[in-house]
């Protein structure tokens, strides 16, 4: 006699939830713009910065430059060089003037593309070991927080 294995068919809702969970897991591994370029993110949000070296026209001190540790490493990658030049068309700011986004739609598109490029191409480089370490620490703290919340809920 053969055993029949009954497989419960998944509903569309369950499949969608599973896909959404997978997407969340993938995105949680990526760094956000605020994590890659925290000084520029803050300067653009507030309109000013305490770092007088931020300058969108200078490749070393622009958005891409910060992502590469304010070194000229960003110039080695042709795609990063393109992004550093493209950001100048929709962003304005240096130590003499306010930091502003002049074309929000273009900036958001560039930001999304740059963050994707940086996460896929540069996050895995040896030069980004500290960022990877920070990512691991962030993940561990998330897990510990979830564990603490689960632990508390068991006693309530």
Cβ-contact 91, 63 below 8 angstroms: yes
Start-to-end Cα distance in the chain: 49
Residue 99 three-state SS: strand
CA distance 120 to 125: 10
What's the confidence (pLDDT) of residue 25? 53
pLDDT band per the 50, 70, 90 thresholds, residue 153: low
Mean pLDDT, rounded, for 60-67: 91
Tell whether pTM > 0.75: no
What's the confidence (pLDDT) of residue 106? 96
Residue 9 pLDDT exceeds 80: no
Residue 89 pLDDT exceeds 80: yes
CA quadruple 71, 75, 78, 84: dihedral, nearest 10: 80
pLDDT band per the 50, 70, 90 thresholds, residue 111: very high
């Amino acid at each position: 006699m053969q055993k029949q294995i009954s497989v419960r068919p998944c509903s569309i809702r369950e499949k969608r939830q599973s896909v959404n969970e997978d997407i969340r897991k993938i995105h949680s591994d990526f760094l956000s713009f605020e994590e890659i370029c925290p000084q520029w993110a803050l300067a653009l949000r507030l309109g000013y910065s305490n770092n007088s070296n931020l300058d969108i026209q200078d490749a070393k001190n622009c958005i891409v430059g910060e992502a590469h540790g304010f070194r000229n490493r960003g110039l080695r990658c042709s795609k990063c060089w393109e992004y550093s030049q493209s950001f100048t068309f929709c962003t304005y700011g240096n130590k003499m003037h306010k930091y502003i986004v002049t074309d929000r739609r273009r900036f958001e598109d560039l930001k999304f593309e740059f963050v994707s490029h940086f996460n896929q191409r540069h996050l895995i480089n040896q030069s980004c070991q500290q960022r990877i370490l920070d990512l691991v620490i962030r993940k561990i703290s998330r897990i510990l927080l979830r564990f603490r919340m689960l632990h508390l809920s068991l006693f309530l």
